Structure 1
Amino acid sequence: MAHILVVEDEQAINDLITMNLKLVGHTYAKAYSGSEVADMLEKERADLILLDVMLPGLDGFGVMEQIAPLRIPVILITARGALSDRIRGFELGADDYIIKPFEILELLARINVVLRRNEQAASAFVCDRVEVRFTERQVWVDQLLVDLTAREFELLEVLIRNRNIALSREKLLELAWGYDYAGDTRTVDVHIRQLRKKLGWEERIKTVFKLGYRLEVQV
């Protein structure tokens, strides 16, 4: 997974973001002002920066101008939603622009998109006897190839990308089937049963009472 620098001066928001990054397997560093960023990047690498715009001292746009030569992917996170601000952010090289308040699952999804686009995300996931190869869309158990349907693989990838987070059946339908899926949530239960059986993950994919499911993985 990736090492992500979170630059956000509101501690509660910084803590919320980094807690969820840790849950899904990323590592992180924290900064609370724009002036810290350049010095931190001299000491440690970052695969991605989550950057607030309204920071004390040097603002997010100033940070982007300062670190532009490093070519590190940046997602701007800000309450400033004016078109002129968004345009300025993209002109400075931002990969994405998220307006506060935001849903944490949306943020995690956008992080995955940016990481894949910049080829920083892990190409495989290993847990117990299971290896998932995202690029090849293959799943191996005990070094034997397991036959998954396209939908089973999509659901598995959603669970892995959001591991240790409880996802409702509705959210799983949205993420794995798409917004326009016309079926009901029982199809999620059917596919979860198949994944558990094929992967031997009866104890890994937890049922969350009256909600949905969570892939439980030690991080």
Structure 2
Amino acid sequence: MLVLLVEDDIDLAELVFEYLESESIECDLAFNGVMGLELVNQNQYDVIVMDIMMPRMDGLTLCARIRNSGVSTPCLMLTSRDTLDDKLSGFEQGADDYMVKPFELQELVARVRALSRRHSNPASLLQVADLTLNTTTHQAARKNRQLSLSPIEWKILEYLMRESPKVVSREQLEALIWGDEPPSKDALKTQIYRLRQIVDGDHQQPLLHTIRGTGITLRKNDENNS
């Protein structure tokens, strides 16, 4: 299991980090919301644990940004604010669980593991036609032939498969990969081209389709693709 901890209190962050590691849970650390968002865009986490009151970007904004980019990773909020309105605000922004400081480290680990199980079990195997993606083993295949994907290609493919057969806008995909700052206007086009070569290649039935003026979709027999 890989967890992202976003916490500006360095002493608390190090304490939680060491305890998670002692429980055989790998952990990445971020000390503000902006740093946390960058790590979410670069890596795939099983659970994200974040403080609410942080510099540069607070936890509520971070959670909302994560959800708006299409990332469904469970988010657990840590905060000293314990009113019902505070908790409701967190849930409205996409949080899955809420712990009030101070908290017991054993309970934090129990909640992290519960969130991870709840998230991974129902949809660990995705399939569209003869294309499969297993989020547990981190393997993708087309007609039982394994596909080699970069982290960005994996992120795009998983998102398109989860949304299939809906069309996903270019803006959604750019936000998923780079947040608000794509490196260039052609960066996504390049990634989609590479992904199309990997997924469709020489197959007679293409699955990855560009819908002019709308976005990208992954599905069978699309008559409006280009």
- Give the TM-score, by structure 1 length: 0.53
Q: Once the 2 structures are TM-superposed, how far is the Cα of residue 42 of structure 1 from its aligned partner? A: 2.2
Please state if 1:18 is matched with 2:24: no
Helix, strand or coil at the partner of 2:99: strand
Equivalent position of 1:80 in the other structure: 81
Task: Letter of the 1:110 partner, please give it.
Answer: R
- Contact 2:73–2:119 (CA under 8 A) maintained in structure 1: no
Deviations 1:185-210 (A, max 9, x none): xxxxxxxxxxxxxxxxxxxxxxxxxx
Give secondary structure in 1 for the equivalent of 2:57: coil
Q: Hey, what does 2:118 align to over in structure 1?
A: 117
1:1-219 to 2 correspondences below 5 Å: 2-68=1-67, 69-119=70-120
Structure 2: distance between partners of 1:38 and 1:12: 21
Structure 2 Cα separation of the partners of residues 28 and 106 of structure 1: 17
Residue 119 (structure 1) shift: 2.0
User: Which position in structure 2 is the counterpart of 1:207?
Assistant: none
Displacement over 2 Å in runs of 4+: none
User: What is the one-letter code of the residue matched to 1:118?
Assistant: H
Is residue 48–residue 73 contact of structure 2 (8 Å, CA) maintained in 1? yes
- Give deviations 1:118-163, integer Å, cap 9, x for gaps: 126xxxxxxxxxxxxxxxxxxxxxxxxxxxxxxxxxxxxxxxxxxx
Contact 2:75 2:97 in 1 (8 A): yes
What SS does the aligned partner of 1:114 have?
helix
Q: Is the 8 A contact 2:33 2:56 kept in 1?
A: yes
Task: Please provide the CA RMSD for this pair.
Answer: 1.5
Give the deviation of 1:72 after TM superposition.
1.2
Distance in structure 1 (CA, Å) of the matches to 2:109 and 2:86: 22
Distance 2:94 2:61 in 1: 12
Partners of 2:23 and 2:81 in 1: CA distance: 28
